[in-house]
Amino acid sequence: MPYSVLIVDDSHFFQMRLKEIINESPELKVIGIASNGQEAIDMAAKLKPDIISMDYEMPFLDGVSAVKIIMDENPTPIVMFSSMTYEGARITLDALEAGALDFMNKNFAEVSANSAGFKATFHEKLITFAKSANTTAVKSATGLMNAEPIKKAEPIRRAAPVKSTEIPRARTAPPPVFSPVSKLAPSPKPLMSRSASIKGKVRLLAIGSSTGGPVALTDIITNLPGSFPCPIIIIQHMPENFTKAFAERLNRNSELTVKEAETGDRLEQGMVLVAPGGKQMMLERSGKSIKIIDGDDRVNYKPCVDITFASAASVFGGSVLGLVLTGMGADGADGARLLKSKGSTIWSQDKDSCVVYGMPAAVAKQNLTSCELSLKDIAAKLISDV
């Protein structure tokens, strides 16, 4: 039986095109179309769709407000449509904070041209999230496990240094990737000890994530103290403009200093650098600063976790802690293998707390991870072990 989809968009053109595109998949079926946020709330309650496609800018009640109410009253996986502008990024991050799982670029040209790439990505997201709606991570991200409704989008609260509390979660995903490091890293030998102490040995924390990453990263970074002992770099699959808005949001709500990385930025204690969308983040040979370069067109991910992990392995050798979080695909596995071959440590997010158990599964299956952690435990583990 196909998964049921509710379309929410105030444009008649987009309503009809999305309906055609969605119904092309035998695994999906449109059961309703809403033209504004209030209609979306009413139809979500009446039709009980498996997943919702939601525009963010609509009359009467906007998409973010609708997401919050739906998450409170009838929690359902939601994929947002967003413009790729800075303002669009800011609003989309509000929607992810409110409980939406992922977003798509609202590109008139792609939808009009019946782009095969757009259709494949859209179908994959809808099917993945509808299919995963019973998992712990998706329930949490969509509010099914939250006792309180999500509040209006003030900046995410500034979290006190970690206490064991419940944490929100989310999602996002990409395609297969050309790996620039797959032939460079030998397969690691089986780990002799999966709990060797790394206290005082880590000179860099490198975090890779994709679908579900923004919410997971928010939970981790806002729960780390300003005294965290080493610099942090983040490689989150996000388009241009989104990474800047995301870094600014994290900075407002963290004791650490967070910024979108630029060439020349220093790697210092208390600093978190977010790889810019559309580019690749490398480390200077001195290990003291960051270099941002244009991406090779053969690489699907910009930024790419494999590329930055490989650069970190080359510069820092065995002094890196690589952390692979929720995400579709296997980006990060080749880079993690190279880090491991140099003596560095790899941790990964566990299956139950991932929105998409793809990237962490890839490192776990290759025996690269020495520690699989639930999202709610990661910040505390970093504080105690690093």
The first and second tokens of residue 341, run together, are: 């071959």
Dihedral sign computed on CA atoms, order 186, 190, 195, 196: negative
3-class DSSP state for residue 351?
helix
Active site residue 50: no
- Is 344 noted as a catalytic residue in this protein? no
Catalytic residue, candidates 102, 132, 140, 237: 237
How far apart CA 338 and CA 360 sit, in angstroms, is 16
Among 186, 154, 182, 145, which residue's Cα sits nearest to residue 306?
182
- Are 7 and 34 in contact by the 8 Å Cβ rule? The answer is yes
> Prior bond to 303 cis, omega within 30?
yes
Q: Quick check: helix, strand or coil at residue 138?
A: helix
Helices (H), the chain: 12-23, 37-47, 63-73, 86-98, 108-112, 116-131, 136-141, 213-221, 242-253, 305-316, 333-341, 359-365, 375-385
Find residue 8's DSSP bridge partners: 34, 54
At 351, the amino acid letter reads K
The tokens for 131 are 């299919």
Is 331 in the active site? yes
99 and 136 Cβ atoms separated by less than 8 Å: no
> Pairing mode, if any, of strands 257-260 and 51-55?
unpaired
Q: Rounded CA gap, 356 and 360, in Å? A: 9
What is the spatial distance between Cα 138 and Cα 151, in angstroms, rounded to a whole number?
Answer: 19
Catalytic entry in 65, 132, 210, 319: 210
Residue keyed to tokens 């997971």: 216
- Catalytic residue selected from 62, 219, 306, 331: 331
Residue 218 carries which side chain, given as an amino acid letter?
Answer: T
Structure tokens given for 267: 């790697």
Q: Which two tokens stand for residue 382?
A: 């970093």
Radius of gyration of the chain (CA): 20
Tell me which residues are annotated as active site: 210, 237, 331
